[in-house]
C-alpha cells in the first residue's frame, strides 16, 4: 500500500539545490520587462496620462496607456458574472480609478531598472473623488463607484427569514459584530508572467498560477484566439494561497504588450505591489444573532455579511457566498437566516485567500457559540456537544443548501480536549482567578469546512519501458503533487510509486483541467487519477482478453501483470502492442472535512500582550495519501491562521492609501511567533469517492483564529466582545479589557 | 548610466561583468551570472529569500550592490552540493522543511553560514530562534525548518525524533 506512506518529496531534489524554475528564473531570448504606472489615489477621474518622458527614457521600448491599446479586453470575472455587470475593469484605467495601485499605463524596457526609470518619468493627473472604505457605509452611500450601477455588486440570502417572535420568546439571545480584517496573501514568490508571441499568432505563457486552463480560456477569449493556440505553462510556483487563480489585469496588459511588440515580455511583481494588492483576502463586516434555550440548545441563527470586495468585484464577490453556505458550521440549528452583500469600495479588489469564505463562517459561529456559553455560564465544550450534528445524521442537508457527507464532530472535540489537557487548564484558570496570576483563557473551535468543487481531469498511461505517466488537470503550487499523485496511481496498480511520473501544469499536454484551490487537488484530482488507474486496469484486461481470445472475466490482474489462459503479460508489454491509456473526468460532490482546535493563552493585563501557551489542532481529512505532506499543510495553515488572529492586517489611511506596503508594516509570523503546536487527527473517509480523501490544506486558517480569539475573550472574561477584533494586537486586547 | 567592469567570484568561479553601480548583487547573480537559485521575495531586505554568503557572512543580496562585492568570496545555493547533497539539503527534504521551495535557498544559506561558524548554535534554543527568525516562510510554519537545521548539525538523524 502506498496510500498512507510518508514518502519524501520528489520535488525537493531540485528545490534544495536552487535548481527549481520559477517564472523569474526563465531565460527567454530577447525578453523585455514590463512595469506599471499606477494610481496613487483611491478614487478619482483620470484626466491625463503623459508618457512622453517615459518613452524618452533610455532603455524604454514602449509606454502605453489604455488609449494606445484599444483592443485590450476587459478583465473577466472569475465567477458570478452577474456581479460585474455594469462594472467593467479595464486592465489599464480608462476614465476612473477605484483603488490605489490600479494600473494606468504599462512601460516596457530592456530590463526592470530602465522600465522603472520610465515609470517614474510618467505623469498622471487624477482628480480626486470621495473615498469609500467601509462596505456597510459604501452600500448605502450616495457616492457611486460605477455610474449606473449600485455599490452592492451582489446580494444573496440563504435559509428562511426568522420571525421576530423567535427572538422575543427565546430564553437567551446573544448578538455581536465581528470584523474579518483584510489580509495579504504574502506568497514568497510574487505574481509573475512571461508571454512569448509565437509565429502564426499564438502565445506561450509561463505564469505563476493555480488554474492554467482557465487562464488559457480567458486569454484566448479576450484576444480572439483559439484556445489551442494559447499554451499556458505553470513552472514552479512559490506559493499561491488563492491569489493566483485569477486572470489579473496586468496579465492582459502584458499579453497585449508582447503581441504589439512581437517580443517576449515578462512582468515580475514587486513586494510593494503585492502588499498593496490586489489581491487581498477576507474583508467582512459580520453581524450575528443567536437564540437558545436555557440549556444552550440553539434555536435560531442570523448572520449578516457586508463583504468589502474592493474597487472591482470580479475576483472577490463570490467569497461571501461561501461564508453564507457554511454559516451553521457543525451544528443543527432549526432556523437560519443569512444575508450577504458584496460591496465595492476603494480598497484593492479581494480574492479567495486560504480558506476563502470558510474561515469567516467558522469565526462568526464559533465566536458566537462561546459567547452563548459565557452568557449561560455553561462550559463551551458542553454547549457544542448539545448542538452538534450527530454522527448518524449523515448525509446531512444544511439549511443553507449544502449536504455534509460524513463526520463525527464530538469525537474530534474529545481528542482536542484530551490533547490540550482541557480539565487541567480549567483547574489552573480557576486557581488563578482565585489566587491571582496572569489571566489565562481556553478557547475552542469546532469547524466544518467545504473542500473541492466541480470536476477534474486525470489520465494514466502505461509505457512500454515499464513506467507510467499520470496526467492531472490540477496545478501544484507547493503541495507536492509530483510525489502524492503517483502514490495514488501506484496504489491502484499495485506497483512502486517511483515508476509513476506526474505531468500537470501545461495546457499543451493536459487536455483539460480546473486547477488547485479550495483544497480540491487530492479530493477531486486524486480521485480522478484513482479512477483512471482503475480504468487502465480494465482496459488492459480487455486487451489481454482479446489477445488470448478468452472472456475478460478470465483475465486476472496483479501488481502490473495480467494473466489468462496460461499466459502472462506485464502492462509494459501490453503497452508495446499499442497505446494503453485511460482518461477520465470525475466530479465527486463537495467534501466536508472537520476538526476541533483548542488554544490556551495568557493575556498580560497591563500591556495586553497575548501569549499562546498551547494550540492543539485535530483535523479529519478522510483518507490521507501522504502524511508528511498533509502534516505540513496542517502546520503551515495553522501558522497562517495564527497570523490572522494576532498580527496580520492590511491597513488604509482615511484617503484610501495603503499603510502596509512593506514586510515591516505587514507582519506575518516568523519562527519567534510560533507557539507550541500539537496535531492529532480522526479519520472519516469521504464516502463519495473510492479514494476516500477529503480536502487538506486550509484547515488551520479556519480553526486556529476563532480558537485563539475565544481563548483571549475567556482570559479577559469579556461579557461584550465587539471590541475584540482581529488582529488581537496588544492595544486591542488592552482596550477590550477596559 | 555607466557600466563598471567588475569581477564577482561566486562558488569559487570568476564572473566578469559590466554592471551599473545601482545593480544589486541579487540581480547580478540571477540575471548576469545566471545563478537563479538565489530568489527575490521582497527586495527590501526583510524576507531573506535572497540570502547568500559574502566572505562567510550571511547577507541579503537585494541590499548590496554588485560592485561592493568585487573582492569578496560569494557563495550561493548552487555551490552547496558538492556532488552529494549538503547535509542541510538532505535534512530539509527529510523534515519536509520546504513546500513551495521559494524561501529554501535563503534559509539554507543562512543556516550553512551559521553552522560553519558554530555548530553549537543548534544546542542553544534561544540562539537558534534568533538565527532562524531572520527569514520568512509562508508555507511550513517554520518548525520543520528548525528541526532540519538541528538534524543537519548532527545532533540527531533527519526524519526521526
Q: A24–B30: do the CB atoms touch at under 8 Å?
A: yes
Pairing of strands A172-184, A152-159: unpaired
Residues B59 and B97 in one domain: no
CA atoms within 13 A on the CB side of A671: 20
- Residue to test with chain B: of A31, A120, A188, most B Cβ within 10 A: A188
Return the number of other C-beta atoms located less than 10 Å from residue A642's C-beta: 28
Nearest CA in chain B to A58: B1
Percent of chain B residues past pLDDT 70, beyond the cut? 95
Residue B48, in any domain of the structure = yes
Residues A661 and A689 in one domain: yes
Q: A670–B136: do the CB atoms touch at under 8 Å?
A: yes
- What is the full DSSP assignment across A211-230? -HHHHHHHHHHHHT--GGGE
Question: How many separate domains does chain A show?
Answer: 3
- Residue to test with chain B: of A5, A13, A16, most B Cβ within 10 A: A16
Name which of B36, B89, B142 is nearest A674 (Cβ-Cβ): B142
User: In A, which residues are within 8 Å of B80 by CB distance?
Assistant: 17-18
**B113/chain A closest Cα distance in angstroms:** 16
CATH number of domain containing B36: 3.10.20.30
Q: Quick check: B2 pLDDT over 90?
A: no
**A637: its cell numbers:** 495553515
User: In A, which residues are within 8 Å of B39 by CB distance?
Assistant: 22, 24, 188-189, 238
User: In B, which residues are within 8 Å of A8 by CB distance?
Assistant: 93-94, 96, 159
Give A561's strand partners.
A558, A570
Residue A335, in any domain of the structure = no
Give A173's strand partners.
A291
Name which of B35, B89, B93 is nearest A8 (Cβ-Cβ): B93
Give A62's strand partners.
A108
Distances A483 to A5, A7, A131, A623 between C-alpha atoms, Å: 11, 8, 49, 16
**B18 touching chain A per CB within 8 A:** no
Residue A608, in any domain of the structure = yes
Nearest CA in chain B to A663: B46
**A271: its cell numbers:** 513586494
Q: pLDDT (tens digit, 9 = 90+) per residue, A611-650?
A: 999 999 999 999 999 999 999 999 999 999 999 999 999 9
Q: Edge-to-edge strand order for the sheet containing A335-343?
A: A152-159, A335-343, A298-308, A280-292, A172-184
Q: Which of A254, A276, A298 is the last residue of a domain?
A: A276
Cite the DSSP H helix spans in A494-570.
527-548
Residues B69 and B91 in one domain: no
- Residue to test with chain A: of B38, B133, B138, B149, most A Cβ within 10 A: B138
CATH number of domain containing A659: 3.30.365.10
User: In the prediction, which pLDDT does A738 show?
Assistant: 84
Distances A496 to A10, A559, A579, A628, A663 between C-alpha atoms, Å: 14, 9, 21, 18, 44
Residues A615 and A666 in one domain: yes
**Domain coverage including residue B23:** 4-79
**Domain coverage including residue A559:** 453-586
Could you tell me the mean pLDDT of each successive run of 10 residues in chain A, 738 residues long?
95 98 98 98 98 98 97 94 96 98 98 98 98 97 95 97 97 98 98 97 97 98 97 98 98 98 98 97 98 98 98 97 98 98 98 98 98 98 98 98 98 98 98 97 98 95 98 98 98 98 98 96 97 98 97 97 96 97 97 98 95 98 98 98 98 98 97 97 96 96 98 96 96 93
Q: B44–A480: do the CB atoms touch at under 8 Å?
A: no
User: In the prediction, which pLDDT does A637 show?
Assistant: 98
**A301: its cell numbers:** 441563527
Nearest CA in chain A to B90: A16
Percent of chain A residues past pLDDT 70, beyond the cut? 100
Question: How many separate domains does chain B show?
Answer: 2
Residues B60 and B109 in one domain: no
- Residue to test with chain A: of B97, B108, B121, B141, most A Cβ within 10 A: B141
User: In B, which residues are within 8 Å of A24 by CB distance?
Assistant: 30, 36, 39-40
Residues A369 and A417 in one domain: yes
Residues B58 and B103 in one domain: no
Between A112 and B161, residue with greater pLDDT: A112
User: In the prediction, which pLDDT does B83 show?
Assistant: 85
Residues B46 and B73 in one domain: yes
Residues B100 and B67 in one domain: no
User: In the prediction, which pLDDT does B161 show?
Assistant: 46
CATH number of domain containing B122: 1.10.150.120
Nearest CA in chain B to A477: B100
Q: A24–B78: do the CB atoms touch at under 8 Å?
A: no
Q: B96–A664: do the CB atoms touch at under 8 Å?
A: no
**B132 touching chain A per CB within 8 A:** yes
Q: pLDDT (tens digit, 9 = 90+) per residue, B8-44?
A: 999 999 999 999 999 999 999 999 999 999 999 999 9
**B39/chain A closest Cα distance in angstroms:** 8
Average confidence score pLDDT of chain B: 95
**B101/chain A closest Cα distance in angstroms:** 6
**B143 touching chain A per CB within 8 A:** yes
Residues B102 and B133 in one domain: yes
User: In the prediction, which pLDDT does A80 show?
Assistant: 87
Q: B99–A239: do the CB atoms touch at under 8 Å?
A: yes
Name which of A19, A270, A635 is nearest B43 (Cβ-Cβ): A270
User: In the prediction, which pLDDT does B156 show?
Assistant: 56
**A126/chain B closest Cα distance in angstroms:** 29
**Considering only CA atoms, which of A1, A4, A2 is closest in space to residue A624?**
A4
The model carries a pTM of: 0.97
User: In the prediction, which pLDDT does A75 show?
Assistant: 98
Q: Which residue has the cell 479512477?
A: A531
Name which of B27, B96, B132 is nearest A628 (Cβ-Cβ): B96
Question: Is the Cβ–Cβ distance between A226 and A203 less than 8 Å?
Answer: no
**A118: its cell numbers:** 520610465
Residues A416 and A509 in one domain: no
Q: Quick check: B158 pLDDT over 70?
A: no
Q: B39–A27: do the CB atoms touch at under 8 Å?
A: no
User: In the prediction, which pLDDT does B86 show?
Assistant: 96
Residues A612 and A573 in one domain: no
Let me know how long chain A is.
738
- What is the full DSSP assignment across B61-79? TTSSBGGGGTTSEEE-GGG
Q: A662–B46: do the CB atoms touch at under 8 Å?
A: yes
- As a whole number of angstroms, the distance between CA A159 and CA A176 comes to 20
Amino acid at each position: 500500500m502506498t496510500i498512507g506512506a510518508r514518502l519524501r518529496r520528489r520535488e525537493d531534489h531540485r528545490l534544495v539545490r536552487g535548481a527549481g524554475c520559477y517564472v523569474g528564473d526563465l531565460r527567454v531570448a530577447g525578453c523585455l520587462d514590463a512595469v506599471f504606472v499606477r494610481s496613487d489615489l483611491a478614487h478619482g477621474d483620470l484626466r491625463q496620462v503623459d508618457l512622453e518622458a517615459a518613452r524618452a527614457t533610455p532603455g524604454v521600448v514602449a509606454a502605453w496607456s489604455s488609449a494606445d491599446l484599444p483592443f485590450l479586453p476587459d478583465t473577466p470575472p472569475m465567477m458570478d458574472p452577474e456581479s460585474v455587470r455594469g462594472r467593467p475593469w479595464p486592465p489599464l484605467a480608462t476614465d476612473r480609478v477605484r483603488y490605489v495601485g490600479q494600473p494606468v499605463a504599462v512601460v516596457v524596457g530592456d530590463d526592470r531598472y530602465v522600465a522603472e526609470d520610465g515609470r517614474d518619468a510618467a505623469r498622471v493627473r487624477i482628480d480626486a473623488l470621495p473615498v469609500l472604505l467601509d462596505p456597510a457605509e459604501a452600500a448605502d452611500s450616495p457616492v457611486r463607484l460605477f455610474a449606473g450601477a449600485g455599490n452592492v455588486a451582489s446580494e444573496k440570502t440563504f435559509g428562511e427569514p426568522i420571525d421576530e417572535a423567535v427572538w422575543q420568546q427565546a430564553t437567551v439571545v446573544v448578538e455581536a459584530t465581528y470584523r474579518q480584517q483584510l489580509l495579504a496573501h504574502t506568497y514568497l514568490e510574487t505574481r509573475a508572467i512571461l508571454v512569448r508571441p509565437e509565429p502564426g499568432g499564438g502565445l506561450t505563457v509561463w505564469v505563476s498560477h493555480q488554474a492554467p486552463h482557465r487562464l488559457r480560456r480567458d486569454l484566448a477569449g479576450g484576444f480572439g484566439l483559439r484556445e489551442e493556440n494559447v499554451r499556458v505553462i505553470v513552472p514552479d510556483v512559490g506559493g499561491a494561497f488563492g491569489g493566483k487563480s485569477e486572470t489579473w489585469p496586468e496579465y492582459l496588459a502584458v499579453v497585449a504588450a508582447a503581441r504589439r511588440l512581437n517580443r517576449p515580455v515578462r512582468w515580475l511583481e514587486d513586494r510593494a505591489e503585492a502588499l498593496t494588492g490586489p489581491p487581498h483576502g477576507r474583508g467582512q463586516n459580520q453581524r450575528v444573532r443567536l437564540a437558545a434555550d436555557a440549556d444552550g440548545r440553539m434555536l435560531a441563527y442570523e448572520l449578516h455579511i457586508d463583504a468589502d470586495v474592493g474597487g472591482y468585484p470580479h475576483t472577490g464577490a463570490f467569497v461571501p457566498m461561501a461564508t453564507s453556505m457554511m454559516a451553521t458550521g457543525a451544528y443543527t440549528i432549526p432556523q437560519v437566516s443569512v444575508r450577504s452583500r458584496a460591496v465595492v469600495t476603494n480598497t484593492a479588489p479581494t480574492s479567495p485567500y486560504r480558506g476563502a469564505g470558510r474561515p469567516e463562517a467558522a469565526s462568526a459561529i464559533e465566536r458566537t457559540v462561546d459567547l452563548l456559553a459565557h452568557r449561560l455560564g455553561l462550559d463551551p465544550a458542553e454547549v457544542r456537544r448539545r448542538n452538534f450534528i450527530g454522527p448518524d445524521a449523515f448525509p446531512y442537508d444544511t439549511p443553507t443548501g449544502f449536504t455534509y457527507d460524513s463526520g463525527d464532530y464530538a469525537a474530534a472535540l474529545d481528542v482536542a480536549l484530551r490533547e490540550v489537557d482541557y480539565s487541567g487548564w480549567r483547574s489552573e484558570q480557576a486557581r488563578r482567578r482565585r489566587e491571582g496570576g496572569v489571566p489565562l483563557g481556553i478557547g475552542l473551535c469546532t469547524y466544518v469546512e467545504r473542500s473541492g468543487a466541480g470536476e477534474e481531469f486525470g489520465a494514466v498511461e502505461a509505457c512500454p519501458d515499464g513506467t507510467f505517466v499520470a496526467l492531472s488537470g490540477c496545478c501544484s503550487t507547493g503541495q507536492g503533487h509530483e510525489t502524492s499523485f503517483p502514490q495514488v496511481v501506484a496504489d491502484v496498480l499495485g506497483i512502486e510509486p517511483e515508476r509513476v511520473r506526474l505531468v500537470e501544469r501545461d495546457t499543451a499536454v493536459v487536455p483539460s483541467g480546473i486547477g488547485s484551490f479550495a483544497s480540491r487537488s487530492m479530493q477531486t484530482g486524486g480521485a480522478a487519477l484513482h479512477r483512471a488507474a482503475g480504468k487502465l486496469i480494465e482496459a488492459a484486461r480487455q486487451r489481454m482478453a482479446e489477445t488470448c481470445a478468452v472472456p475478460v472475466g478470465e483475465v486476472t490482474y496483479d501488481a502490473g501483470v495480467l494473466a489468462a489462459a496460461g499466459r502472462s503479460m506485464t502492462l509494459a508489454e501490453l503497452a508495446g502492442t499499442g497505446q494503453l491509456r485511460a482518461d477520465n473526468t470525475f466530479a465527486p460532490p463537495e467534501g466536508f472535512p472537520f476538526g476541533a482546535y483548542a488554544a490556551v493563552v495568557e493575556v498580560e493585563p497591563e500591556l495586553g500582550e497575548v501569549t499562546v501557551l498551547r494550540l492543539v489542532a485535530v483535523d479529519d481529512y478522510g483518507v490521507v495519501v501522504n502524511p508528511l505532506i498533509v502534516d505540513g499543510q496542517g502546520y503551515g495553515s495553522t501558522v497562517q491562521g495564527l497570523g490572522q488572529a494576532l498580527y496580520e492586517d492590511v491597513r488604509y489611511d482615511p484617503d484610501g492609501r495603503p499603510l502596509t506596503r512593506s514586510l515591516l508594516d505587514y507582519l506575518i509570523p516568523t519562527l519567534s511567533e510560533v507557539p507550541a503546536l500539537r496535531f492529532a487527527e480522526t479519520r472519516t473517509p469521504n464516502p463519495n469517492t473510492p479514494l476516500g480523501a477529503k480536502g487538506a490544506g486550509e484547515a488551520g486558517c479556519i480553526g486556529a483564529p476563532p480558537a485563539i480569539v475565544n481563548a483571549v475573550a475567556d482570559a479577559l472574561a469579556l461579557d461584550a466582545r465587539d471590541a475584540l477584533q482581529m488582529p488581537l494586537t496588544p492595544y486591542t486586547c488592552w482596550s477590550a479589557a477596559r | 548610466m555607466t557600466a563598471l567592469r567588475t569581477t564577482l567570484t561566486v562558488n569559487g568561479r570568476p564572473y566578469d561583468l559590466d554592471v551599473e553601480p545601482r545593480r544589486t548583487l541579487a540581480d547580478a547573480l540571477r540575471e548576469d551570472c545566471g545563478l537563479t537559485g538565489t530568489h527575490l521575495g521582497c527586495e527590501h531586505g526583510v524576507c531573506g529569500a535572497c540570502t547568500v554568503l559574502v566572505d562567510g557572512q550571511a547577507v541579503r543580496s537585494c541590499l548590496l550592490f554588485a560592485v561592493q562585492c568585487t573582492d569578496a568570496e560569494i557563495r550561493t545555493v548552487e555551490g552547496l552540493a558538492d556532488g552529494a547533497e549538503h547535509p542541510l539539503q538532505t535534512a530539509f527534504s527529510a523534515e519536509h522543511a520546504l513546500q513551495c521551495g521559494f524561501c529554501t535557498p535563503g534559509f539554507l544559506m543562512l543556516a550553512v553560514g551559521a553552522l560553519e561558524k558554530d555548530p553549537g548554535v543548534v544546542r542553544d534554543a534561544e540562539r537558534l530562534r534568533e538565527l532562524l527568525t531572520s527569514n520568512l516562510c509562508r508555507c511550513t510554519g517554520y518548525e520543520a525548518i528548525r528541526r532540519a537545521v538541528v538534524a543537519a548539525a548532527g545532533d540527531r538523524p533527519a526524519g526521526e525524533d
